[in-house]
Structure 1
Amino acid sequence: MILWKRKAFLYTGFTVFAVIFVMNKLTLSLHNYSTGPVQVLILTYMRSGSSLTGDILQHKPGSFYVFEPLRSFCPSNCSSVILKNLVYANGTERRTPISFNEESYSILRNWFSCKITQLPANGLLDVFLERGTKTKMFYPCYLKATLKTMDHSIAMEKCAGKLAEICEESSVRIIKTIRAQFKFVKHLLDVLPNLKIIHLVRDPRATLFSQSHFHMCLVANGGRQRCTNNLCGRLEKDVLEVDSVDISHPGRVMTIKYEDLAQRPIETSQIMYDFIGVPMSPKTKRFIYYKTMAGIDNDCSICSTRRNSSAHIAFWKRQIDREFLDIINSRCDYILKRFQYDKFPK
């Protein structure tokens, strides 16, 4: 009798455990969650507030943040770039030409998967890696190992391996890029079940005004009209891709307006943290306040720290000339309406 009761108790306990296990699995499935690290791709455009967005997200303890890993392969106008003679951190080489778009998919996937030794070596030597609190260890490691071994190939593979270990231990992995097109990176959602994409947009008039000050709209490069066509043409394509992905992969992509982040930094940051499923600590909230509302002046041309981030978002309205404004208002009409940007001038 006692033996029968013990068996019944064990059977009941096992049944309850099995039900809980199945329910948890079902809940994870329904919410598109799975075990493993959180992976976040910030996809945006030059001068659209991505540096600030990346800094806010990488403030989460345990974050592994990669700042512009595609820059060394394509400084600008990436759509038609063909890459040749790539040498990877593990010493292998690729002689066959490959398009930038194809290689960018592999690079982003390997970063998210911590396969650092399978990344092109020149990308690991990019100075922009110093913008990540964990990736900045690579170059000092590489320099020290090269001086010790007198062999840059050995140093490259050794330090890539160390960075891979750091990446593997990180619970949150974030990549920020202004050089990837949505139609190519969307396929990462199929192979990385934990991946979330934040599509960061900004008023194209503000973005283009800022770009023009970085000499991106010079007459020699096609002038303001071509500059405007490039930005708003890409924005239009990306928006259509986002609409499609919202249907095929619901809950995996979120569009954030930089203006919302600048005007309501803590509230908008909370929305982003909730989206990626990571709690935002009081310490992070203080950091955001410091970065956006009580920050210090700086002379970093690519940084986004501002004494008052909400004050600078309308700066372009006081400075942009009417000819440039008319070009943007005409060409970017769909984007302006899509994101409900105020008509200017009224």
Structure 2
Amino acid sequence: MWKHLTACLRMRIKYTVFLVFVVALVIIEKENKIISRVSDKLTPRQTPQTPLQVTIVPPLAATKQNDSSRFLFTRTQLDPSRFHHMKRRLENFTEVRESDPERRLPSWGKKHILLLATTRTGSSFVGEFFNQQGGNMFYLFEPLWHVERALTLETGGTNASAAGPAYRDVLQGLFLCDFTPLESFIEPAPVDHVTPNLFRRESSSSLCEEPVCGPVVKGVFERYRCRTRRCGPLNFTLASEWCRQKEHRTIKSVRVRQLETLRPLAEDPRLDVKFIQLVRDPRAVLASRMVAFAAKYKNWKRWAVDGEVPVDDDEVRKLKGNCDNIRLSAEVGLKQPEWLRDRYMLVRYEDIARFPMRKATEMYDFTGIPFAPKVKEWILRNTQASKEVSGVYSTQKNSSEQVEKWRFSIPFKLAQVVQKVCGPTMKLFGYKFAESKEMLTDKSISLIEEKNFS
């Protein structure tokens, strides 16, 4: 009897083991199929890109600007021994992606914010809304400055055909915490991924935090040194590692001309990019630039005094081109094509200056990133905002004076020129025309139309 029971028990154990083995095989097979399908979906799509053709020559004279050599570009000559490394890095990002896990896998939960603007629109102030987040935010201030500088032509302009792809590829690398594309444009070139020459390093708190703050090197001058602590030259390897530990990444840039050129970033499955375009009344921008870059606006000042503005002048055409680029980018964004669906937000500087807390809240809601209390404290401290009865923080009274201060510094003649060449842009963004000098300087008349761009 006992032997019979033992034999039955052994048979049951064998059948149970066999059944478990079969079930395990089935489960493993199904999981392999699921993983295979998911992997196929996550494989980055190949976006056709024209290789960047940049022709570069050293400066014709040993001129210097900002304590570093300036390189002039032409379309006919190339110095391969000096710049071959830059061209190769730009044309072979595939090799980097294969060796870098983050370039091959999607960044689940990570947000990538690109703040787009032009100079003198308040972008540095708005960028602080994200820079002050700290903690889980990796913020970079104007990294494309180096790219624009490297692609500057002898005539003073930028090689637009080369700049667009270069900006896009460098931004893609930075969002993936890869600084090698940017290193290709820094002069002098970094040594072992270390440089003391990163533009405005001190404006990116992430690059001055302890993990990235290396020991001071005697005899090495760092022009844009950190203010919060003494740090040595920037080590891009450490910066990359610190970037990967952050949950979100924000880049502020005034150098991208057309939003359409950044479409590959929006379609990159490894990224979750949100674009915030900051705009400002072009009359205010001109007035601000005439003060900040006085040497470059001598013609405008002369026109304001001596006579009529030549509408066919290069400076006027440049103004029109800037306005058109801003408007065309905004038109693309506001139409919300499939690749930009829920990825684009338009914000006017005037609205931020009048309602800083409200607009900051809207921007954080748009990005899906929690609005940190320390950012709110910074905004209150730097705008002297007070709480309104409605519970919405605003600096409407004080900031309105700052927002429209330009109206009393720009000659009406120049305001008319801006209204003529930038009319369609002003209408799109809700900036009213001043019909007379009296209207321009009348504080009781607002030149800002209340408008909702959502």
Whole-angstrom distance in 1 between the partners of 2:431 and 2:246: 38
> Does the Cα contact within 8 Å between 2:330 and 2:346 map onto a contact in 1?
no
Contact 1:42 1:54 in 2 (8 A): yes
Name the structure 2 match of 1:86: none
1:186 aligns with 2:263: yes
Q: What residue is the counterpart of 2:287 in the other structure?
A: 209
Equivalenced residue count is 291
Change (3 A) 1:59 1:331: same
Aligned residue in 2 for 1:67: 141
Equivalence for 2:252: 176
What is residue 57 of structure 1 aligned with on the other side? 130
- Structure 1 residues 27-62: Cα deviation after superposition (integer angstroms, max 9, x where no partner): xxxxxx972321100011100010011101222232
Structure with bigger helix share is 1
Residue among 254, 259, 282 paired with 2:350:
259
8 Å contact from structure 1 (residues 232, 335) kept in 2: yes
SS at match of 2:341: coil
Q: Secondary structure at the match of 1:217?
A: helix
Cα distance between partner residues in 2 of 1:146 and 1:62: 34
Question: Partners in 1 of 2:331 and 2:265 — Cα distance?
Answer: 17
Between the aligned residues of both structures, percent identity stands at: 25
Counterpart CA distance in 2 for 1:172 and 1:77 is: 29
Cα gap change, 1:160 to 1:283, in 2 (>3 Å): closer
Please state how far the C-alpha of 1:187 moved relative to its aligned partner. Answer: 2.3
After TM superposition, give the deviation of residue 206 of structure 1 in Å: 0.7
- So what's the TM-score if we normalise by structure 2? 0.56
1:36 aligns with 2:109: yes
8 Å Cα contact 1:183-1:241 kept in structure 2 = yes
Q: Does the 8 Å contact 1:228/1:327 carry over to 2?
A: no
Measure, in 2, the Cα distance between the counterparts of 1:70 and 1:193: 19
Q: What does 1:281-296 align with in structure 2 at a 5 Å threshold? A: 281-293=372-384
Give distance in 2, aligned partners of 1:335 and 1:104: 24
User: Could you tell me how far 1:145 is from its partner in structure 2?
Assistant: 9.7
d(CA) in 2 for partners of 1:262 and 1:136? 28
Query: Looking at both structures, which has the greater relative contact order when contacts are Cα pairs under 8 Å and sequence separation is at least 6?
Result: 1
- Paired residue type of 2:421: R
8 Å CA contact 2:143, 2:199 repeated in 1: no
Aligned counterparts of 1:128 and 1:139: Cα–Cα separation in 2: 15
Other-structure match for 1:199: 277
Offset of residue 74 of structure 1: 1.9
CA deviations over 1:114-143 (Å, ceiling 9, x no partner): 012343251762231220001246996496
Residue 69 of structure 1 aligns to a residue in which SS? coil
Check the 8 A contact 1:78/1:179 in 2, yes or no: no
For the pair 1:219 / 2:299, whether they are aligned, the reply is: yes
Distance 1:118 1:234, change over 3 A: closer
> Is this contact kept in 1: 2:142–2:199, CA < 8 A?
no
Equivalent residue, structure 2, for 1:10: none
Where structure 1 has 5 or more consecutive residues not aligned to the other structure, the ranges are 1-24, 26-32, 84-97, 148-154, 295-306
CA drift at 1:176 = 0.4
Q: Distance in 1 between matches of 2:418 and 2:137?
A: 37
Task: Give the 3 Å change call, closer, same or farther, for CA 49–129 of structure 1 in structure 2.
Answer: same
Q: TM-score, normalised by structure 1?
A: 0.72
Aligned residues of 2:117 and 2:279 also touching (Cα < 8 A)? yes
Question: Using the alignment, how far apart are the partners of 1:169 and 1:175 within structure 2?
Answer: 16
Residue 205 of structure 2 corresponds to which residue in structure 1?
133
- Aligned partner of 2:169 among 89, 106, 122: 106
